[in-house]
């Protein structure tokens, strides 16, 4: 799948967490980024062998960090909720890797406890091997009223013991679990939030019909629990696909959305946005960036098995899904059932919607790396893992490197 590139010089427009270097260089040594900076400074920084770029005006390229997707149910025809072996799950991992996602969190959906345990064990094997960045459980402690494409028959009461069992099966690789704040037993002493924090995982609030008050109380409590926990990945909880699967915001019944936005603006949590042009209007995505900033936003795909595939019939856990015109919907009921885009597609759509390139890249790489608690990935900076995308000026893939190795597209 890959070939070793012990030393490489990549030159082009370089996107860092704070700026765009119009003529920059990324130097890779083995699996590490050795230097990033303007091409004009390379020689005096000890890198005299930076090659010229012939016909730069005709063949400009953009260099991005490898992207980090925190919410992904599959792709390439394979879904993580349906993968009973590591090889089945690898199909989806490779699909997204070939399109620029070098750190991927595999997401499950609401299922019976025995199914969740088996799927977590499969995904933990890939995480142990470094092929996955972790595991996300979307359910089963959700609001049946706002279940979206989740199977309402499998939603269950909050169960901290099940959280502990699944966290143990995940072998330290459980990153987040989507929970509805209003469900009894989520918050409070000994509840699900406490079990997650004790396991080194983060609560992610979503699929919720919570009121403003319920949301405010649980977010504050989770923030306090995480701040007091030395083993956490991050000090901040997250929000599962803000706006989607939530009570709508109205001026007399505000529901959870304004409080989640306010908390993100304070830096108290991180919100996911599915900026694929289907789940959210691009102008709404732009408004959220302007309200809370890229340090508090992660762009995600919510991809399912149909990502990278043709229209047709698919599965998402226990549910039948039909994809028409690139949009996945439950075959029975019509609810949107995950995404069909790669994270680079989401990035491209977000930039086309008016979000500055630096901000969009930060939310597709740097901020999600902070949620993982992994300082090795997420940015083109000296000392980080050599995860680099080479794209054209339209942000379409030319080359992917993960840990310095060239990925065959």
Same domain, 152 and 96: yes
Task: Supply the pLDDT for residue 74.
Answer: 98
Task: Supply the pLDDT for residue 58.
Answer: 63
Same domain, 175 and 269: yes
Domain count, the chain: 2
Same domain, 119 and 242: yes
Task: Supply the pLDDT for residue 1.
Answer: 44
pTM of the model: 0.96
Same domain, 302 and 179: yes
Residue 141, CA atoms < 13 Å, CB-side half-sphere: 27
Same domain, 394 and 304: no
pLDDT truncated to tens, each residue of the chain (409 aa)? 444 557 899 999 999 999 999 999 999 999 999 999 999 999 999 998 888 876 555 678 999 999 999 999 999 999 999 999 999 999 999 999 999 999 999 999 999 999 999 999 999 999 999 999 999 999 999 999 999 899 999 999 999 999 999 999 999 999 999 999 999 999 999 999 999 999 999 999 999 999 999 999 999 999 999 999 877 799 999 999 999 999 999 999 999 999 999 999 999 999 999 999 999 999 999 999 999 999 999 999 999 999 999 999 999 998 999 999 999 999 999 999 999 999 999 999 999 999 999 999 999 999 999 999 999 999 999 999 999 999 999 999 999 999 999 998 7
Same domain, 131 and 255: yes
Same domain, 242 and 97: yes
CB atoms < 10 A from the CB of 161, how many?
10
Same domain, 203 and 282: yes
Task: Supply the pLDDT for residue 164.
Answer: 98
Task: Supply the pLDDT for residue 162.
Answer: 98
Same domain, 234 and 342: yes
Contact of 342 with 389, CB cutoff 8 Å: no
CATH of the domain at 91: 3.20.20.140
Same domain, 85 and 47: no
Kindly give the pairing relationship between strand 238-239 and strand 270-273: parallel
Same domain, 295 and 397: no
Q: Over the chain, what is the mean pLDDT?
A: 95
Backbone angles phi, psi at 268, to 5 degrees: -90, -20
Q: Closest by alpha carbon to 366, among 62, 66, 38?
A: 66
Give Dmax (Cα) for the chain: 64
Tell me the per-residue pLDDT of 20-66, one tens digit each, with 9 for 90 and over.
999 999 999 999 999 999 999 999 999 988 888 765 556 789 999 99
Contact of 371 with 71, CB cutoff 8 Å: no
Same domain, 196 and 56: no
CATH of the domain at 60: 2.30.40.10
Instruction: Report the distance separating Cα 317 and Cα 339, nearest Å.
Output: 14
Domain membership of residue 58 as a residue range? 2-64+381-407
């Amino acid at each position: 799948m890959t070939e070793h590139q012990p030393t490489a010089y990549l030159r082009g427009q370089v996107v860092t967490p704070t700026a765009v270097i119009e003529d920059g260089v990324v130097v890779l040594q083995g699996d590490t980024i050795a230097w990033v900076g303007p091409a004009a400074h390379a020689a005096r920084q000890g890198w005299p062998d930076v090659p010229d770029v012939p016909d730069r005006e005709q063949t400009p390229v953009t260099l991005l960090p490898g992207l980090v997707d925190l919410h992904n149910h599959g792709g390439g025809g394979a879904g993580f909720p349906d993968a009973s072996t590591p090889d089945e799950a690898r199909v989806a991992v490779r699909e997204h890797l070939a399109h620029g996602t070098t750190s991927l969190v595999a997401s499950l959906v609401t299922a019976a406890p025995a199914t969740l345990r088996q799927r977590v064990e499969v995904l933990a094997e890939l995480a142990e091997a470094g092929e996955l960045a972790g595991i996300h459980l979307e359910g089963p402690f959700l609001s049946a009223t706002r279940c979206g494409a989740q199977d309402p028959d499998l939603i269950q009461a909050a169960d901290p013991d099940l959280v502990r069992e699944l966290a143990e099966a995940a072998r330290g690789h459980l990153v987040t679990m989507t929970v509805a704040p209003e469900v009894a037993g989520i918050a409070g002493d000994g509840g699900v939030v406490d079990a997650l924090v004790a396991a080194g995982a983060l609560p992610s609030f979503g699929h919720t019909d919570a009121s403003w008050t319920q949301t405010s109380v649980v977010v504050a409590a989770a923030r306090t629990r995480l701040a007091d926990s030395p083993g956490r990945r991050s000090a901040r909880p997250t929000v599962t696909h803000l706006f989607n699967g939530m009570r709508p915001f109205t001026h007399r019944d505000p529901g959870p959305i304004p409080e989640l936005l306010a908390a993100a603006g304070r830096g108290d949590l991180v919100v996911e946005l599915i900026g694929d042009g289907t789940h959210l209007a691009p102008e709404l995505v732009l408004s959220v960036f302007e309200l809370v900033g890229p340090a508090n936003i992660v762009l995600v795909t919510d991809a399912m098995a149909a990502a990278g595939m043709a229209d047709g019939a698919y599965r998402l856990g226990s549910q039948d899904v039909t994809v028409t015109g690139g949009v996945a919907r439950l075959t029975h009921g019509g609810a949107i059932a995950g995404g069909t885009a790669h994270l680079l597609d989401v990035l491209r759509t977000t930039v086309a919607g008016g979000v500055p390139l630096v901000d969009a890249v930060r939310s597709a790489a740097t901020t999600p790396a902070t949620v993982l608690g992994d300082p090795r990935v997420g940015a083109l900076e000296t000392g980080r893992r050599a995860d680099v995308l080479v794209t054209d000026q339209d942000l379409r893939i030319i080359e992917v490197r993960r840990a310095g190795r060239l990925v065959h597209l």
